[in-house]
Structure 1
Amino acid sequence: MVKKQISIIGVPMDLGQSRRGVDMGPSAIRYAGVVERLEKLNYEIHDMGDIEIGRPSKDEEVNDGNLKYLRAVSEASDKLALEVNRVIESKSFPLIFGGDHSIAIGTLAGISKHYKNLGVIWYDAHGDLNTSETSPSGNIHGMPLAVSLGIGHPALINIAGYSPKVRPENIVIIGARSLDEGERVLIREKGIKVYTMHEIDRLGMTKVMEEAVSYLKSKTDGVHLSLDLDGIDPSDAPGVGTPVLGGISYRESHLAMEILEESNIITSAEFVEVNPILDERNKTATVAVALMGSLFGEKLL
């Protein structure tokens, strides 16, 4: 049997947010045994190493209006988009490790051109739908989904030379529990499908995931999973920069990944915001690797 191929790309990016340490996320995930775990599932793993991230001076922190490290984030996004594009052209599954969630700008720029109707599952406590006008902080890791919709600074929305990367009707946000007012307005304007913690509590994770899969399966030709570890409750995943209480449990997250694996709709994935400086004995990276196990077919029996 020919082994399926997975290509790992690390993105040690910490410029999209304000808490240092998340640049060590890719190393923490590798240290937690991700390659060995996926190889046991009969995948051929190609670790492409890490994208080189420039280290701008403090003077470059605010490049344009309310956007921190705009130039550096834009340059890193271009590099990542090229690398992801090469992986897809080689017929391998792109698996990206962050780094903060701003890396999704480059990930989606490299992926979307290969699909007519790319779907996105955004597994996150936050909407990441801010712009320079609505962001309270100016941190670009709170903007990648808006950027991918074609909303934001030209240097970000035009990564890889085209925009938008995804349509609002092809997005499902799962686990939201911290949304800024500008994000709520955009969600209503664009009709983006969102399952907040209220829906997860009320309907149960099985129903939420089955609805999400059904919603995307009929109208997309590929689905990207963008999983922010802060989507999971901080009691299970403490090593994140923006923890929010009342999140998805470890077991519910495994169930979500198992349902996605059974659905056979996921064509690319990224796991972001693992910050070992804020973690407890690499617990959050270990959780990320365990969830990847379920996403790629690991079974108890």
Structure 2
Amino acid sequence: MNNLNVSIIGVPSDYGQTRRGVDMGPSAIRYAGVVQRLEAIGHTVQDLGDIHVSQDHKENDANEKLRNLEEIVDVSTTLANRVHGVLEDKKFPLVLGGDHSIAIGTLAGLGDHYENLGVIWYDAHADLNTDETTPSGNIHGMPLAVSVGLGHERLINIRNYVPKVKPENVIIIGARSVDPGERELIKEQGIKVYTMHEIDRLGMTHVMEDAIQYLKDRNVDGLHLSLDLDGLDPLYTPGVGTPVPGGITYRESHLAMEMLQESGMVTSAEFVEVNPILDEKNQTANVAVELIGSLFGETLV
């Protein structure tokens, strides 16, 4: 990978779900040495700090199908504008979460810079619920739906264009907990999914080769990686809010990042759902930094 100018944006938001602590994720990833790791590889890093996120949580949210909607719209709008500015400055945006609802803002800030953006969603969950299908009302289960133009108008219209990404340009990798409504949307929208069944059966090398070629064939002009640490098996990443057993291994994840780096296609990335309160000795944040190292070109020799 050529040496990059990387701008880090922290988003200390836990509004997308109900387990406290994920707002400390950006600090945990910084503490694990993300800036030093990137600089050691040869990249120039500017840490823009955290966007402001109010910690004024409501005891009772009247909208049980869209919990903390107003707060998430505010956070997403601020983040979208910040990401937009980073791209205007010709730098690589690296966003640190925070729960996965922050991807609404990341993709809103990216999408109007590309004609044909591609997205790899590395996650145990599809995050394709809407207020009509959600079993929980937690918006961290909705960001991919929002980004393809499905859901509440306040969410899908951030930065005033819809969709942020074409559904046929999205690839989900590592899914193993998919709600019934999400299954229907995957079929209806033509979203490509590699579940753990495909990863187990075909192997990560085949999956990543196929995914990368699929996006090349679609002539994407940018590629965003949205990596939820619960995509990995909780054996490796215990500090996540919604762990699902039977996930991607540590080594498979490094391989996936290395293959994305070799493709030369990745133009932005976010790493989300690190919750230090649920973690063991910052293990999950350390894994996040190690995977960031592989994505940005770190090699053994």
Q: TM-score, normalising length from structure 2?
A: 0.98
SS in structure 1 at match of 2:300: coil
* Alignment partners' CA distance in 1, 2:61 and 2:26: 23
Name the CA distance, whole Å, in 2 between partners of 1:55 and 1:197.
Answer: 36
Tell me whether 1:105 sits opposite 2:104 in the alignment: yes
Aligned residue pair count: 299
Q: CA deviation at 1:190?
A: 1.0
The separation in 2 between residues aligned to 1:271 and 1:11, in whole angstroms, is 10
Distance 2:258 2:184 in 1: 32
Give the superposed CA RMSD: 1.1
String of CA shifts for 1:74-94, please: whole Å, max 9, x gaps. Answer: 000000000000000101000
Structure 2: distance between partners of 1:244 and 1:234: 7
Unaligned 5+ segments in structure 1 are: none
Rounded to whole Å, the distance in 2 between the matches of 1:218 and 1:36 is 36
Q: Determine the C-alpha separation between the residues in 2 that align with 1:97 and 1:85.
A: 16
> Which residue identity is paired with 2:127?
D
Distance in 2 (alpha carbons) for counterparts of 1:4 and 1:55:
33
Asked if 1:121 corresponds to 2:114, the answer is no
Q: Give 3-state SS (helix, strand or coil) of 2:41's partner.
A: coil
SS at structure 2 position matched to 1:29 = helix
Q: Counterpart of 2:277?
A: 277
Q: Structure 2 matches for 1:156-167, cutoff 5 A?
A: 156-167=155-166
2:6 matched residue in structure 1: 6
- Give percent identity, aligned residues only: 68
Q: Which residue matches 1:87? A: 86
Rounded Cα–Cα distance in structure 2 between residues aligned with 1:60 and 1:52:
23
Q: What residue in structure 2 maps to residue 212 of structure 1? A: 211
Measured in 2, the distance between the counterparts of 1:143 and 1:3 equals 34
**Residue of structure 2 in register with 1:35 after alignment:** 35
Structure 1 Cα separation of the partners of residues 238 and 296 of structure 2: 24
Output the CA distance in 1 between the equivalents of 2:178 and 2:257: 24
Give SS of 1:58's match. coil
1:94 partner SS: strand
Q: Distance in 2 between matches of 1:177 and 1:212?
A: 18
Q: Which residue of 2 aligns with 1:293?
A: 293
Return closer, same or farther for 1:193/1:35 CA change in 2, 3 Å cut-off: same
TM-score relative to the length of structure 1: 0.98
SS at match of 1:241: coil
Q: Residue 254 of structure 1: CA displacement? A: 0.1
Cα deviations by residue, 1:131-160 (Å, 9 ceiling, x for unpaired): 011111000000000000110001100011
2:273 maps to a residue whose letter is E
Q: 1:223 and 2:223 equivalent?
A: yes
Tell me, in whole angstroms, the C-alpha distance in 1 between the residues paired with 2:61 and 2:230: 24
Cα distance in structure 1, aligned partners of 2:270 and 2:47: 14
Cα contact 1:10–1:51 (8 A) shared by 2: yes
CA distance in 1, matches of 2:181, 2:261: 33
Deviations 1:52-100 (A, max 9, x none): 11234425624x4510000000000000000000000101000000000
The one-letter code matched in structure 1 to 2:14 is D
Give yes or no for contact 1:65–1:132 (8 Å, CA) kept in 2: no
C-alpha separation in 1, matches of 2:255 and 2:32: 21
Distance 2:48 2:114 in 1: 23
Structure 1 segments of 4+ aligned residues over 2 angstroms from their partners: 59-62
The runs of 5 or more residues in structure 2 that have no matched partner are none
Q: Which amino acid aligns with 2:249?
A: S
Kindly report which structure 2 residues correspond to 1:191-270, keeping only aligned pairs within 5 A, or say none.
191-219=190-218, 220-270=220-270
Give CA-to-partner distance per residue, 1:141-190, whole Å, 9 cap, x none.
00000000110001100011111101111000000000000000000111
